[in-house]
């Protein structure tokens, strides 16, 4: 994909590793381009049934590369944050949420600024115990972005969301788990094997049902119960007609493990 990102496909799992370890994998325009190309490849490849996102080195991602912005300022330009969000960050968050396959984020170290909120835009967040989540924006005169102001109050409640966003205080992984911000904090040495195990299980799971489940939970935030019940009915109609559902029921009745293909039809 390029020098800023490692991209591997194996056994139904695509692994994306942000790869600017000297800068804690901060986002440059080039990294954004490479990540968008990786997502294009993932979206277009039906054999990929799970995605793993992680970072190289001691950090997960320190958000926008401020050095890249400094170069613009030194050249007499201004940092216009809205444009970067419109062009890169917002499409990235939308794509992660709309991707019809589960995305596991293995937060291997500090996740700051946009890096923290991109991790939280993934479906399942595992974090190394040494990792932390930092809403670094206020420290440099910015507001939280990449959906942070949406997801933090929903997962943590407004008191904790406000304090994290206004102070920029790091939230250690174990506290993030205890507060319900992430799925699990794990020993540093176990992080990647846990993440690979989860992705391997997803790569053998009924992909269509997982994609529909992901959408149902996302849409529930804006729905009342009646609307959600209707959406569940429509989604169940779709899931129940997949070959994987037929296989799941057959396997249950036959007292054997199911073999799911992830396909929509025969």
* Position 114 contacts ligand LHQ (CB under 6 A): yes
* Position 53 contacts ligand LHQ (CB under 6 A): no
Tell me which stretch binds ligand LHQ (CB under 6 A): 11-19, 107-115, 231-239, 245-253.
107-115
Tell me which stretch binds ligand LHQ (CB under 6 A): 96-104, 137-145, 183-191, 228-236.
137-145
* Position 144 contacts ligand LHQ (CB under 6 A): no
The residues, any chain, with a CB within 8 Å of residue 230's CB and separated by 6 or more, are none
Q: Which of residues 3-42 bind ligand LHQ (CB under 6 A)?
A: 23-24, 26
Nearer of residues 116 and 209 to ligand LHQ, judged by Cβ: 116
The whole-angstrom separation of Cα 17 and Cα 3 is 11
* Position 205 contacts ligand LHQ (CB under 6 A): no
Core vs surface per residue 24-60: b (16+ CB within 10 A) or e = bbbbbeebbebbeebbeebeeeeebbbbbbbbbbebb
- From residue 86, alpha-carbon distances to 111, 114, 152, 245, 246 in Å are 21, 13, 21, 39, 42
* Position 64 contacts ligand LHQ (CB under 6 A): yes
Contact residues toward ligand LHQ (CB under 6 A) are 23-24, 26, 62-67, 79, 81, 84-85, 89, 110, 112-114, 134, 136-137, 140, 142, 145
């Amino acid at each position: 994909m390029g020098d800023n990102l490692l991209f591997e496909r194996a056994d139904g799992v695509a692994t994306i590793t942000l790869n600017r370890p000297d800068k804690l994998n901060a986002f440059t325009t080039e990294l954004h381009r490479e990540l968008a190309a990786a997502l294009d490849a993932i979206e277009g490849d039906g054999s990929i049934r799970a995605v793993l996102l992680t970072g190289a080195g001691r950090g997960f991602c320190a958000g926008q590369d401020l050095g890249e912005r400094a170069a613009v300022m030194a050249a007499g330009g201004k940092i216009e944050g809205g444009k970067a969000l419109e062009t890169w960050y917002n499409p990235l968050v939308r794509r992660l949420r709309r991707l019809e396959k589960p995305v596991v984020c293995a937060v291997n170290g500090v996740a700051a600024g946009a890096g923290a909120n991109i991790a939280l835009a993934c479906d399942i967040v595992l974090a190394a115990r040494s990792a932390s989540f930092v809403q670094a924006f206020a420290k440099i005169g910015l507001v939280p972005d990449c959906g942070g102001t949406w997801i933090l109050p929903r997962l943590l409640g407004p008191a904790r969301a406000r304090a994290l966003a206004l102070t920029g205080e790091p939230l250690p992984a174990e506290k993030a788990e205890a507060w319900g911000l992430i799925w699990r904090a794990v020993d540093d040495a176990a992080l990647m094997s846990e993440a690979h195990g989860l992705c391997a299980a997803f790569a053998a799971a009924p992909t269509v049902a997982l994609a529909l489940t992901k959408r149902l939970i996302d849409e529930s935030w804006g729905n009342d119960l009646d609307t959600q019940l209707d959406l569940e009915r429509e989604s169940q109609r779709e899931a129940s007609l997949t070959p994987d559902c037929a296989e799941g029921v057959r396997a249950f009745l036959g007292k054997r493990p199911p073999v799911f293909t992830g396909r929509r039809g025969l």
